[in-house]
Homo-oligomer: A and B are copies of this chain.
Amino acid sequence: MTFPAPLTGVVPPVCTPLTPDREVDVPSLLRLVEHLVEGGVHGLFVLGSTSEAAFLTDRQRRLVVETVVGHIGAQLPVLAGAIDMTTPRVLDHVTAVTAAGAQAVVVTAPFYARTHPSEIVHHYRRIAAASPVPVIAYDIPVAVHTKLPAELVLGLAADGVLAGLKDSSGDLAAFREVVTGARAHAGFSVLTGSELTVDSALALGADGAVPGLANVDPHGYVRLYRLCRAGDWEAARSEQERLCALFGMVGVGDPARMGTSSSAIGAFKAALHLRGIIDCAVTAEPQVPLSGDEVAKVGKFLAGAGLL
C-alpha cells in the first residue's frame, strides 16, 4: 500500500502483550490488533513507548512487526518505532523494521548522549536519507529530555526530510505552531500523542491522534475523531471527557512502590485483560506489577466508562 500523505485519524500505539515468562504473546497481539481494526482505527503504531519498545529485545521487536504486518497486510498503514540512543543504532532498527514490513518509521531525538539542535537535525537527515520509508519525528521530552523545537520540525518538513510529527510533549502551544506552519507543506502529518486533549488538537488543525488509551477503547477515540471532523464540538467534548475519566486508570499504581510507566502500561494491560482481549497483563522488567487491589480499581474505571 502507499503510505497516506498525510496520515490522518486514530493510530493507536499498540500494546505488546507478553506471556507470563515475558515473551511476546503472539495470539494475544493478534486479538488486540483485531480489536483495534474492529474499533475502526486508521493505522497502527507498533514499537512505541506504550508498546514497551524500550523494554523489548531486538528479536522481540522484529517479531512484533512481522506479526502485525503479516496479519494486517495492506488493510491499514503500520508505523514502527525505531527507538534507540543515536543515529547508527537507530539506522540498524530502521533496517530491521522495514525489512519486517513497516511502512513508516517513528524516530525520537538522540538520547543518553547530550545533544544539540544541529545534531538533532543531522540525525534526522541521515536517517531519512537511509530509510526506504517515510520518517515521522517523535517528540517525547519525558523520555529523551529534549523538546523538538517547532522551527526545527518545520524546517525538516520543508526539506522533505520528515513526513510527520507525533507530539507527546503535552505542549499544545508549540504543537499549534507546527500545525499552523505545516499547512505550507502538503502531505505532512501532525499527530497528537495526548489522550486528554484530542478534541483541542483536532480543533486547531491536527491530522490525527496516537493515544495509548485507544488500546483499551478504540471505539471511543474513533467516535471522538468523527465528531471533531463533523464539527460537532459539544458532543466531541462530552466523548473526550468520558475518555479523560477513563484515563484516570493510569494513576492506580501506588507511587511509593512503582514509577508512572509501571502504573500506566500496567493499567492499560490490566484493562485489556479484564476486557478479555489479551491473556496476561504482565509488563516487561524492571516494571513493577499492579496489585490485585490496583487491578480492581482499573475494573472500576472500565465499568465507569461503560466498558465492562
Q: Which residues of A contact B (CB under 8 A)?
A: 22, 49, 54-58, 60, 83, 85-89, 92, 110-116, 118-120, 122-123, 126, 142-145, 170-173, 176-177, 180, 194-197, 199-200, 203-205, 231, 233, 237, 240-241, 244, 255-262, 284-288
Contacts and interface: CB of A to CB of B under 8 A. Distances in A.
A296 to B, nearest CB: 21
A260 B114 contact: yes
A270 to B, nearest CB: 18
A123 B284 CA distance: 11
A262 B119 contact: yes
A177 B293 CA distance: 24
B112 A259 contact: no
28 contacts: A22-B88, A54-B112, A55-B87, A58-B92, A60-B88, A83-B112, A86-B284, A86-B286, A88-B284, A111-B112, A112-B143, A112-B144, A113-B143, A114-B260, A116-B255, A116-B257, A116-B262, A116-B288, A119-B262, A123-B285, A123-B286, A126-B285, A170-B171, A170-B172, A172-B200, A180-B241, A180-B244, A204-B240
How many copies, total?
4
A203 to B, nearest CB: 6
Contacts of A58: 58, 92
Closest 5 pairs (CB-CB, A-B): A116-B259, A173-B196, A123-B286, A87-B285, A200-B200
Contacts of A173: 170, 194-197
A49 B60 CA distance: 26
B57 A92 contact: yes
